[in-house]
Structures are given as C-alpha cells and as structure tokens.
C-alpha cells in the first residue's frame, strides 16, 4: 500500500504542473531549461547525500542513446509548455497522452512487436477522441489557437514516445541513473538553444516567477522523479499502467478548479476515448503476459 500511496502522490504532482507553468512569465524554452537544471541539481545532490555511485562505465556505453533521449526530453518539455500557452491545460494534457499511441504505432518498427487488432482499435478510438477534444463550437480565432496548442501537445507526445522507445535500448542502467543523465543532457542541449533565442536574465525575474520555477524544478522534477523510481520498485506493471491515469484526470480536474477551465460534453467524451483506448490496450497486454 505504501508503494501505491507514493505513486499516486507523484501522479498528482505531475498532474498539477500545468497550473504552475501557466503562471510563469517566461518562454517555454526557458522554463524547460530551468526545470532541467534545478531538477538535475536536486537529483545530483541526492546522489551525494545517499552516497549512490553512478555506473560511469555503463553511462559511457549508452552515451549516444542517453544524449539523443535527453535532447528529446528537453524538446518534449518545450512543446508541452508551449501547448499550455496556446490551449487549455486539459487539451494539452489529453493530446500529450497520445504518447502511448505513438509508441504502439512505432513499436512494430523499432521493437518488432506485433500490432494486434486491439491496438489498432485503440489507435482509431484515440484518434476519434482527439477529433472530439477540439471544440468546433468556439469562434474561428479561438479554434485556430486551440488547434495549434493541441498540435504542440502532439509534438510533445511524439518526443516523449521517442524517449520511451530509446529507453528500451539503454542497458545496465537504473531508471534513476538514466533520468539523471538525461536531465543534464537536456540542459546542455537547451542552453545554446535558449541563448540563441532569448537573453537569460535571472535578475529580471520577479519573486513569483522565481518561486514557481523552483517549485517546478524541485517538486515537479527532482522530488517527483525520486519518489517515482522508489515507488515503481514496489508495484506491478499493471498497477503502474492503471494508476498512471491519475495524472491526466487530476490535471483536468485541477485545471477546472484552479484555472476555471471547462470542457463540454463532447470534449469530455473525447478525453475518455483517448484515455480509455490506451488503458484498455495496456490492460489487455498485461493480461496476455500473465497467461503466457
């Protein structure tokens, strides 16, 4: 039960990130950079405190994949934060949850996994759900803005799907070590990108922005990943798959409570189709594994 409590706590933390990012008056790339930097420092500090040694030999052996996945993680954050700026947290989160669908589509190519009939049905159902999430009843300008936001969410999902796939090829490294290296790679990749586009000026930040950045970096990144890796050691794969849906559901609920965002009935049905399709596929796959 302790593992379940930890995992649910992490999902609620992840689900609340949109509320904080929405109120940070910085560009998406700056937020992503600061998130990676602060989260990376937190996890590195944790390594020293608990005296955990990093497998430098294995890190070198997986360096190319760690670099590519770390870069993908950084740009995944940029596109997700950009999605928050253009559309609602609910729309951004639901479109971001297309990542498992992208993994399903790409798994036959990269992982040689069979694309089952159930997975095809899940993909079609999720696409229908995404179509319903875009609210066609709003004005033309708003429709365009929300559509752009959802496209950014899908781009973020595509980058996150690539991280998931690349992580499957990383060998002999713990999830904690992999994430720590990926965070710092994301920082190294994002830093020149941000410097080319923005002028980093920490002194120009107001107190609210600094506080929110620290919360996103420490709570939503450093602490969240730390608790996440501690909790998954205590849970079965199917429990993790099912409890992961607390993240998007809580994101939608918190956006309604704290940001006064609303979804009409059609959009709610679309959201349920997206989440339900990936949950159904993961649940059936888990049952097949148990019976084999």
Dihedral in degrees, nearest 10, Cα atoms 286, 288, 289, 292: 160
Contact yes or no for 177/229 (Cβ under 8 A): no
Whether 281 shows a pLDDT value over 60: the answer reads yes
Between these two residues, 185 and 243, which has the higher pLDDT value?
185
pLDDT at 290: 44
Predicted model pTM = 0.89
pLDDT at 60: 94
Q: Where are the domains of the chain?
A: 2-291
Whether 284 shows a pLDDT value over 60: the answer reads no
Query: What string of DSSP letters covers 229-280?
Result: HHHHTTS-HHHHHHHTTHHHHHHHHHHHHHS-----HHHHHHHHHHHHHHHH
pLDDT digits (tens, 9 = 90+) for 219-239: 999 999 999 988 887 877 667
Cα separation of 232 and 6, whole Å?
Answer: 9
Cα separation of 171 and 192, whole Å?
Answer: 29
pLDDT band, residue 77 (cuts 50/70/90):
very high
Q: How many CA atoms lie within 13 A of 211 on its CB side?
A: 4
Range with lowest mean pLDDT among 52-66, 87-101, 129-143, 218-232: 129-143
Cα separation of 175 and 177, whole Å?
Answer: 6
pLDDT digits (tens, 9 = 90+) for 133-189: 876 555 445 778 888 999 999 999 999 999 999 998 999 998 889 999 999 999 999
């Amino acid at each position: 039960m302790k593992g379940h409590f930890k995992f649910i706590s992490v999902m609620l933390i992840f689900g609340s990130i949109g509320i904080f990012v929405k109120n940070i008056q910085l560009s998406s790339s700056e937020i992503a950079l600061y998130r990676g930097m602060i989260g990376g420092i937190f996890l590195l500090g944790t390594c020293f405190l608990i005296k955990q040694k990093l497998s430098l030999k294995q890190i070198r052996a997986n360096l190319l994949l760690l670099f590519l996945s770390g870069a993908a993680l950084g740009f995944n954050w940029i596109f997700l934060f950009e999605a928050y700026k253009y559309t609602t947290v609910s729309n951004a989160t639901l479109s971001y949850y297309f990542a498992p669908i992208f993994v399903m589509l790409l798994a036959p190519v990269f992982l040689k996994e069979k694309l089952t009939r159930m997975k095809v049905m899940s993909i079609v159902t999720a696409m229908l759900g995404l179509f319903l999430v875009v609210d066609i009843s709003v004005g033309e300008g708003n429709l365009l803005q929300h559509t752009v936001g959802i496209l950014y969410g899908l781009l973020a999902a595509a980058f996150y799907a690539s991280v998931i796939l690349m992580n499957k090829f990383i060998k002999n490294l713990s999830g904690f070590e992999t994430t720590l290296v990926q965070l710092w790679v994301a920082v190294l990749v994002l830093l020149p990108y941000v410097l080319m586009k923005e002028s980093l000026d920490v002194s120009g930040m107001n107190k609210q922005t600094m506080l929110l950045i620290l919360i996103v970096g420490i709570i939503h990144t450093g602490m969240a990943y730390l608790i996440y890796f501690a909790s998954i050691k205590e849970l079965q794969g199917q429990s993790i798959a099912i409890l992961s849906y607390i993240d998007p559901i809580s994101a939608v609920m918190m956006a309604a409570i704290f940001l006064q965002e609303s979804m009409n009935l059609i959009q709610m049905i679309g959201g349920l189709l997206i989440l339900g399709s990936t949950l159904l596929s993961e649940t059936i796959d888990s049952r097949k594994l148990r019976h084999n």
